[in-house]
Structure 1
Amino acid sequence: MDVEGGRAAVSVVGGDLRHLVGRDGEVLEALQELTRLAVLAQTGERSRLMLDIAGHRAARRTELTERGRRAAEEVRTSGQRLVLEPMSPFERKIVHDAVAAAGLTSESEGEEPQRRVVVLPS
């Protein structure tokens, strides 16, 4: 367990944990939500705890940072807004941060689970 950006971060490591991650991290997301609900039940306070299993979330963060950087470069070159694929709130936050670090702005549009990042030209 660690603290990253003011939120508790729990990493589960071990043998073959792919079944706890699931396709596209779906099981991981469900386990994180159940963990947050357990914290709420015990403390009466909401938790922003981040759960990572087998390094899935860390690897995904690296992929999404690169995706945001490439999207910003594409928008800078084309001058056109770019609509990305649907993402979870965790994923969108990483892309928004990468786009901002590249000097452009972005926004989210749509409704869950089809909410997506739109990278805007400057």
Structure 2
Amino acid sequence: MSVENVTERPVPTVADLEAEGDVAADFLEELLDIADIDGDLNLDVRQGRAYVSVEAEGDGIELLSAPDTVQALQELTRLAVQSKTGSFSRLILDIGGSRDARRRQLERLVDAAVVKLDEGASQASLPAMSSYERKLVHDIVADRGLTSESYGEGVDRHTVIRRR
């Protein structure tokens, strides 16, 4: 039996990530035009990822900023970037402050889990979520002086919180 060599993806440079953000912005501008939504796009590089935020006002942006919609649009945008650049994208999309709103929701989930631990539970499991959301949860948990690990596969992957 042979073992295949697993090669890691090269770490993208800031210039690569900025180019990725530009491709994503072009895609999103076309999408917003089709939806007849006026919006401003902001591009940034954060923690080794291209970060694109869409700021707009009105009913259209409220519909687009729903968590499941943001996740779906992020995946479509990543695919558009990958199609154009030939490279895998870990781009983060924020629409109308949806990422900050989701972080606040995750903080409340962690706080509820901490209450369970305070009441004597040995661990508290959170619902399944995306890798980005799990990373946010791990950061929130660490800030509260607890430990966390992810378990499960695919769409069932979730985080378990414990005391140190």
- With the length of structure 2 as denominator, give the TM-score of the two structures: 0.64
Structure of greater Rg: 2
Distance across 1 between alignment mates of 2:136 and 2:119: 22
1:53-111 CA-partner distances (Å, limit 9, x unpaired) = 11111211123134335534642562511111222222211111111122221111223
Distance across 2 between alignment mates of 1:96 and 1:72: 13
Q: Which amino acid aligns with 1:39?
A: V
Residue aligning to 1:98? 140
2:110 pairs with 1:68: yes
Give SS of 1:78's match.
Answer: coil
Q: Which amino acid aligns with 1:20?
A: L
Match of 1:3 among 30, 38, 45: 45
State, as a whole percentage, how many aligned pairs show the same letter: 47
Residue aligning to 1:46? 88
Cα RMSD for the two superposed structures: 2.0
Gaps of 5+ in 2: 1-42
Distance across 1 between alignment mates of 2:125 and 2:106: 14
Taking the TM superposition and a 5 Å limit, the aligned residue runs for 1:69-84 are 69-72=111-114, 74-75=116-117, 78=120, 80-84=122-126
- Cα offset, 1:18, TM superposition: 2.4
Distance across 2 between alignment mates of 1:3 and 1:76: 38
Bigger relative contact order (CA 8 A; separation at least 6): 1
Number of residue pairs the alignment of both structures matches: 120
- Cα offset, 1:35, TM superposition: 0.8
Distance across 2 between alignment mates of 1:68 and 1:6: 25
Q: Which amino acid aligns with 1:35?
A: T
Give SS of 1:95's match.
Answer: helix
- Cα offset, 1:120, TM superposition: 1.8
Distance across 1 between alignment mates of 2:157 and 2:137: 13
- Cα offset, 1:6, TM superposition: 2.2
Residue aligning to 1:116? 158
> Greater CA deviation, 67-76 or 41-50?
67-76
Q: Is the 8 A contact 2:113 2:125 kept in 1?
A: no
Match of 2:70 among 8, 28, 43: 28
1:25-61 CA-partner distances (Å, limit 9, x unpaired) = 1121111111111111111111211001111112111
Which consecutive aligned stretches of 4+ in structure 1 deviate over 4 angstroms post-superposition?
Answer: none
